[in-house]
Chain A
Amino acid sequence: MENVGVCDEFVNLKATELRLGLPGTEDEKQKVSCGKSNKRALPETEKDIESTGKTETASPPKAQIVGWPPVRSYRKNSIQTKKNEAEGQGMYVKVSMDGAPYLRKIDLTMYKQYPELMKSLENMFKFSVGEYFEREGYKGSDFVPTYEDKDGDWMLVGDVPWEMFVSSCKRLRIMKGSEAKGLGCGV
């Protein structure tokens, strides 16, 4: 018996049932993304979900259900970090810019060297970073790119070899103005 066929039947049966519960995994995702409102999705919305043709045996759900699977966050964080590092599934780090209303995230594995990264940051936040000098740091701009390393220290981007930077960078912060001066922004 074809699983897909059975599931279609199953899903349709459920769709005609007069209940407020939602039939399939895809619907769970929809529920979560509906801004956690107290009102459940109306039947019309459910039909929309089914008409996209997804069944329970389709590709595994990519969206994450809050608190599922029931694994302690401590353990989840531990496994997740290791997986990302091992499989090269992207190293997403937060990027904050002084004065910007919200943070961004970038995937460090998308870049091969510092200039690419700088260009991308400059585009993202619409600023320019000046020129890097080994001794004086960044010159020619009010903005200084810094990062937090594994030890919790704030370092100037560009000092260490690229690979070392990628493996130790936990988050990025683009400092601006007078605070930036302390990190060797010689202007």
Chain B
Amino acid sequence: RYIRQLQRLQLLLSPTSADSRGARQFVEEAAVDFARQHPDVVLYVSLRSGRAPVLLAEYLNGTVREELIANKTNEEIVQLATKLAGQSGLDIIRIRKPFHTDNPSIQGQWHPLTNKPSALTVQGPRLQPK
């Protein structure tokens, strides 16, 4: 059971400015293919003139990521979109450990007294002479 963490992709275009040429080409050619390959991602395209073209990605835990797509070619936008689709909404900061377990020890956690004979069997020094 795999649930994609990307909720929506909002593409803000502007029909006239030159830096959203790649975005317009993406919308014309590759957007439908992208939507078919990722059926659980919703793709919105809205035309806003007077603003830089931006790809907004919203994830299931509420984080919103903006990526500028000004002056990018069609293929680059496709790669960006697939990268965003594979990410989850966690912050991209330094992670201390590359693994995470809920049950770290199964056979009991090691403490310095494992594998040592118990105090009952160890023979101490005999105080009374025999």
A and B associate? no
